[in-house]
Amino acid sequence: VWKRFALALSSLDPTQQQQLLVAGSAVAVGGLLTCYYWVYQGTKTKRIPIGDGWWGAGEKPQSEDEKVFPFQVQTSDEEIQDLYDRIDRTRYTEPLKDTGFQYGFNSTYLKKVVSHWRHQFNWKKQIAILNKYPQFKTNIEGLDVHFIHVRPPHREGQRVLPLMLVHGWPGSVYEFYRILPLLTNSLDSLAFEVICPSIPGYGFSEAPHKQGFDTLAAARVFHKLMERLGFSDYYLQGGDWGSIITTNMAQMKPECVKGLHLNMLTNKMRGFGVLFSILIGRYLPWLVGFTREDVRRLFGSVGFMERNFYEIIRETGYLHIQGTKPDSAGYGVNDSPVGLAAYILEKFSTWTDFNNRDLEDGGLERKFTLDDLLTNIMIYWTTGSIVSSMRFYKENLKTNIDNRLDNNTGVYVPTGLAAFPNELMHVPQLWARAKFRNIYSYSYMPRGGHFAAFEEPQLLADDLLQFVKKVEKL
């Protein structure tokens, strides 16, 4: 190893050698602390308590009504006319010259989106699309929880496995409408019976009436949902909040989770372990367990700090607002449909590709249709759920996140990780192993960003299928 190190060092230019030698002073200490980190982490608990809760209005009754009842999205001419009236009264602000989406949603392009919404978009037609999959509600912990439940058509010799897909913010179950047929109507030897719940406070699920509903509460509610539907073990898939909720589900009841597949990864590895790999990894990736693709995604041409730290600061202003005073900002976008569209669609632009910030149209129609984007907006608008969805950030961030039990608990169920190149931050497999102790597959996806199921449904479906086949030994 040291011979390879010396050869690699001699191949660098003087500036790189100096940077590496400065970093090398931390090698011994960093290595020892990294070893300690892994040993320490190995002593952590392997599950988190399930707990219980009541989020409905009033006091908890003696017994819960466990009925599951059908649900369909509906509208009225009055609801649509109210939308049109509000759109027609919109007051726009002219954008600064040559700013693209750097200041947020460009109002020149916003006018085009709103014109399509007002004159071409057909909400009743989109409702028919929403209702093409069976939808239901059931009351869990005082909340009417909405979910889609799609069973595959019977095919001789095909194995069917239960799968829950969980969305995030500012998405909804509609993100999964392009991937659902790929998972449920497959000609492969394996298909899925898919359950897609709306997170309480999002879309068609009732919002909590009490403080404290976080990802742990959502995880418990979704386990109860699967139990109520008659499933004892199942697969989970998630991105954004969905990745954290499904991870919590795996930590909470690992005996029920056959496998966990994520398209947004969280970094549990911290301190000198990460610092050491960042300092050394760009020059000697093999020494810290990085691949060339890890180096490309972490450092790019601008360096780690620019590609990760500064980019994250630029893109997380919303998180601080929603994690501290969600209601203040939420009231405005809950009252203005155009304000709501600008606030949400800007995320579908930038989180798909940071380079979209330089475009006047934000690159929105490169991956999505306006009808699809506006359908997601209409789910928030017609249910009035934007404020409660924003509160979810405060509930999860108002306590010291380092003291949350799930943050100090490993994940031991079979895990598949799909790393999309335009995700907000890249997490190498080396870092992922600190939390996910049983990784069956780690895939460098060829394209796509934060909204994987919405952007690249075929890629996500294929990666999920190969992961499940590995777990099932098919």
Instruction: Take residue 434 and report the two structure tokens written for it.
Output: 């600190």
Question: CA-to-CA distance for 434 and 436, rounded, in angstroms?
Answer: 6
CB atoms within 10 A of CB 132: 11
- Per the omega criterion (within 30 degrees of 0), is the bond before 170 cis? yes
- 315-351 in b/e form (b: 16+ CB < 10 A) is beebeebbbeebeebbeebbebbbbbbbbbbbbbbbb
| 393, 406, 440, 442: the active-site residue | 393
| 146, 223, 426, 450: the active-site residue | 450
Residue 208: closest CA among 143, 140, 137: 143
Specify the pairing of strand 159-166 against strand 234-238.
parallel
Question: CA-to-CA distance for 61 and 445, rounded, in angstroms?
Answer: 48
**How far apart, in Å, are the Cα atoms of 459 and each of 6, 170, 182, 455?**
41, 21, 10, 9
**How far apart, in Å, are the Cα atoms of 178 and each of 129, 162, 173, 446?**
11, 18, 11, 19
Does the active-site annotation cover 393? yes
| 240, 294, 353, 463: the active-site residue | 240
Catalytically active residues are: 240, 393, 450
